[in-house]
Amino acid sequence: MLTIHGLLHLVDDIRTCGPIWTTWSFFMERFCGVLKSGLQSRSQPWANLNKRVLHMAYLTQLAARYDLEDELTDLRVRKSHTLSQSEKEIPGCEYFSY
């Protein structure tokens, strides 16, 4: 049933976000950028990536368990809402952050 429910929203999602491959690549590039900003060690980069993903999971679980979504979203938006020179803001689109 869940798959059928997802398929019902597919057309509206394509109208809102564009082709699926573009939306997927946007979120993957943003996620890779978050991971890249956590790399600090040239000798052990995998340890940095593991720690970064683990801490992101901790924050997600804390937000879900203690109803801190608004507080954590405010911190993330304040920290990373500046757009780079190659990005532009599109009116009517929502801002998503990790």
Please report, as a single letter, which amino acid is at residue 66.
Y
Boundaries of every domain in the chain:
2-80
Would you state the pLDDT for residue 50? 92
Would you state the pLDDT for residue 90? 73
DSSP SS3 for 67: coil
> Residue 2 and residue 24: Cα distance in Å, rounded?
20
Q: pLDDT for 39-78, tens place per residue?
A: 888 898 999 899 989 988 998 898 888 988 887 776 555 4
Percent of the chain whose pLDDT exceeds 90: 4
Report how far apart, in Å, the C-alpha atoms of 14 and of each of 17, 19, 38, 57, 97 are.
5, 6, 32, 29, 20
Would you state the pLDDT for residue 93? 67
Q: Taking a C-beta distance cutoff of 8 angstroms, is the pair 53, 43 a contact? A: no
